[in-house]
Amino acid sequence: MTSTPVTNLTTASEARPLITPRGWVWIGLLSLLFVALHRNFLYRSLLIALDDNNWSHAMLIPFISLYYLYQNRARLMDIRSRVCWWGLPLVFAGMASYAFWIFPGRNDMFQGYSMILGLFGLVLFLVGPRMMAVAWFPILYLGFGVKVAQKLWEIIALKLQTIAAASSTIMLNIIGLVIDIEASVRGNTIDLIHRGVPVNPPLNVAEACSGLRMLMAFLALGVAMAFLAPRRWWQRGVMVLMTLPIAVAVNVGRVTTLGVLHIYAPEYAKGEFHIFIGMLMLIPAAGMFLLLGWVLDKIIIEDEAPRGGGDTHPRQPLAPFEPTENDPSLLVKGALMGAALTAMVSACYLLVIMLIRPDFSVLWIGGTESRNFVIAAVALVALVLILVVALACLIPRHRRLLPGSHRAFVLAICCGLFTTALVAQEVVLSVNGVVVFKEELPVRKTLELIEHPTGTWRFVRQDPPLAKDIIDELGTEMYLNRTYEDTAWTGGLRGRIAEVHIAYYTGTPDTVPHVPQQCFKAGGLVQVDGGGTVLNLQGDSYRQDPKVPGGYLHPMEDPRFGPDVRIPGLEIPATYFTFANPANRQEVVNVAYFFVANGKFLPRPRDVRLKGFDLRDKYSYYCKIQVTVGVEDKEVANERIASLLSELMPQIMLCLPDWVDVTEGRWPAEVTAGAISPTGAGE
């Protein structure tokens, strides 16, 4: 038995369109202004979707939202729209929040959520709460297209990886009853034994710290299938709650499949085919959601059509989206009103920023902080007075604006406020020379050409190239993994060896560096300590740099780059972690990593995003440098790492762009002119 199928009754009013040609013109104009205001975030999101397989689904999200509106067009036609002034504060809140997360917040995720908040307020303002009963879902659904902050994503992914690894181990052992496989889990790594022979290397569920691949795509798919079909609210709620368990279950199937392939056809367990398997898992996921929906339809038998998929009874006579006001003076007044409101909100935003970030006042106007504060305060008072006068002139004549008869007036308000916000944003960015999208900055020579130390440390080996899927997760093809040995060390073999990892990033749409913590946890190690540390470079050859406060020069005598190489400082702030083998807590490794970003040493990923780049920098780069030693004592490990870096750091900095040359225009101009090749060879 099934529920009564949904039928949309045709009314006489449905002969008229929901949106008239004049309404489409207004919608097109508002859409153009809205996209122009948020174009930097939208363009960055497009680049991330094209660059990161985990977020490629973001390009489909807007089309699913539009399809939902098209699917529910009959419901929208049966609701009389009206202006809701409560939506206007949400519009301003969204615009102010969007500006804040450009600077000083510098957070792409909150920029996206601010844009969605502004869109929600705009639609509520124009059509009212009754239409928002339908329109809320496609607007909020756009949130699936916003990339989640990496730190939050890693916390979620690590928990789900643990579940997936444990569950996949159980599945592999069940399959092993037939094909002789034994599996055991160690962290997020699965050790396999086939016919009594250990399989090397083991299967890493984390895929080089990738997180639960395509998790957000599975969640977006499940929510879409819950709302695109006509269902009751409780059915949709159950399906939404089941999206995460289904995503984990599908990933368990994927990891189990990779485990079998890892034994019988290891070449298919990595690379492009490995990524293809992840995409293929969307099919069983869709099947599980369809099965769940079918089961929910069978649970309760009802005769009436479920709400949410279309109303069989029109609520009110049709009131299409039709701007009827043709008075040009009214349109001008509406645009001026919107502009005045936006100017006031913009002034409040700038005043708040100047209070919490005094350095921004110098950046904004130029001059002393007290002078800028006075100018901002006077401007704010003047704009408030202008706004009061404007409202006093407009509202007495147009008190009865809440019905839709003066919709053109409120549309003009929206055009005025978005135009003013767009102009204000462009003026602030232009006056301050803000570069939203940084250009690529080539290295002076590739990392593979880093010369070996000539002191007590000697080169042991260089690791082979990583698999393509791991490179995709690392986010760059410019990396280096080497092992060094200290010939002067007498404290045991573990302290004698150090592993170095270097990765260079430039021109990427996302400025969130890949960090090593999840790798070690995924390998089965347990974190026992962590925090900040300082690595002190030693040597008699360093001398102070006259051009960089706190910087130093080290002689290199390279005819291509001059007699010296710049070092940002002799004290390197770094992040360290201590990991132990859960089976033997005496077996520990200490890891220290830091970043070189636009000529500065920075200890943490968030520092790279917040402090690594000046808003006015045309170019940007950051380089992660990570050293691992097997010494139990943290102080000794710190000394071991600093000893190696004292010999290696000048060679690393010789590869990276000299930031003084960049700011003075000599680099990358020399690359463009053909004088220097990034391979390190002179032309």
Q: For 159-214, give the DSSP string.
A: HHHHHHHHHHHHHHHHHHHHH-EEEEEETTEEEEEETTEE-SSPEETTTTTT-STT
666 phi/psi in degrees, rounded to 5? -90, -20
DSSP string, 225-242: HHHHS---HHHHHHHHHH
Q: Judge contact between 131 and 76, C-beta under 8 A.
A: yes
pLDDT in tens, 556-590: 877 777 788 999 999 999 999 988 877 776 678 89
Q: What is the DSSP letter of 57?
A: G
Least confident range of 97-111, 298-312, 595-609, 631-645: 298-312
Per-residue pLDDT at 486 exceeds 60: yes
Please tell me the predicted confidence (pLDDT) of residue 523: 66
Please tell me the predicted confidence (pLDDT) of residue 309: 46
Give the residue, 233 or 202, on which the prediction is more confident.
233
Neighbour tally for 89: CB within 10 Å: 12
Would you say the C-alpha torsion 126, 127, 129, 132 has a positive or negative sign?
negative
Across the chain, mean pLDDT equals 79
Give the mean model confidence (pLDDT) for residues 422-434: 81
**Token duo for residue 458:** 């000697």
pLDDT in tens, 638-650: 999 999 999 999 9
E strand or H helix at 571: strand 571-581
Q: Judge contact between 331 and 409, C-beta under 8 A.
A: yes
Least confident range of 46-50, 381-385, 433-437, 464-468: 381-385
Name the burial class of residue 645, with classes exposed (0-12), middle (13-18) and buried (19+) by CB atoms within 10 angstroms of its CB. buried
The number of residues in the chain equals 683
Measured at the alpha carbon of residue 537, what is the angle toward residues 532 and 542, in degrees to the nearest 5? 145
Distance (Å, whole) CA 204 – CA 190: 6
Per-residue pLDDT at 606 exceeds 80: yes
Q: Could you give the angle at which helices 61-71 and 129-141 cross, rounded to 10 degrees?
A: 150
Distance (Å, whole) CA 25 – CA 202: 60
Per-residue pLDDT at 202 exceeds 80: no
Distance (Å, whole) CA 10 – CA 32: 34
DSSP string, 343-391: HHHHHHHHHHHHHH-HHHHHHHT-S-HHHHHHHHHHHHHHHHHHHHHHH
Please tell me the predicted confidence (pLDDT) of residue 118: 94
Q: Judge contact between 440 and 617, C-beta under 8 A.
A: no
Least confident range of 71-85, 288-302, 621-635: 288-302
Would you say the C-alpha torsion 355, 361, 362, 366 has a positive or negative sign?
negative
Per-residue pLDDT at 494 exceeds 70: yes
Contacts of 602 by beta carbon, 8 Å cutoff, 6+ apart = 573, 594, 595, 596, 608, 611, 612, 622
pLDDT in tens, 152-164: 777 777 777 778 7
Q: What is the DSSP letter of 449?
A: G
What confidence tier does 124 reach under pLDDT thresholds 50, 70, 90?
A: very high
Per-residue pLDDT at 676 exceeds 70: no
What confidence tier does 208 reach under pLDDT thresholds 50, 70, 90?
A: very low
Distance (Å, whole) CA 674 – CA 659: 19
Give the mean model confidence (pLDDT) for residues 427-439: 81
What confidence tier does 353 reach under pLDDT thresholds 50, 70, 90?
A: low
pLDDT above 70 covers a percentage of the chain that reads 77
Q: What is the maximal distance between C-alpha atoms in the chain?
A: 93
Please tell me the predicted confidence (pLDDT) of residue 354: 66
Q: Judge contact between 76 and 69, C-beta under 8 A.
A: yes
Dihedral of the CA atoms 45, 50, 54, 57 (nearest 10)?
Answer: 70
Please tell me the predicted confidence (pLDDT) of residue 680: 47
Closest by CA position to 497, among listed 372, 590, 570: 590
Which stretches of 61-128 are DSSP H helices? Answer: 61-71, 73-77, 87-102, 108-127
Per-residue pLDDT at 274 exceeds 80: no
Distance (Å, whole) CA 676 – CA 669: 9
Give the mean model confidence (pLDDT) for residues 299-317: 49
Q: Judge contact between 509 and 47, C-beta under 8 A.
A: yes
Please tell me the predicted confidence (pLDDT) of residue 6: 42
What confidence tier does 398 reach under pLDDT thresholds 50, 70, 90?
A: very low
H, E, C per residue of 480-547: EEEEEEECCCCCCHHHHEEEEEEEEEECCCCCCCCCCHHHHHHCCCEEEEEEEEEEECCCCCCEECCC
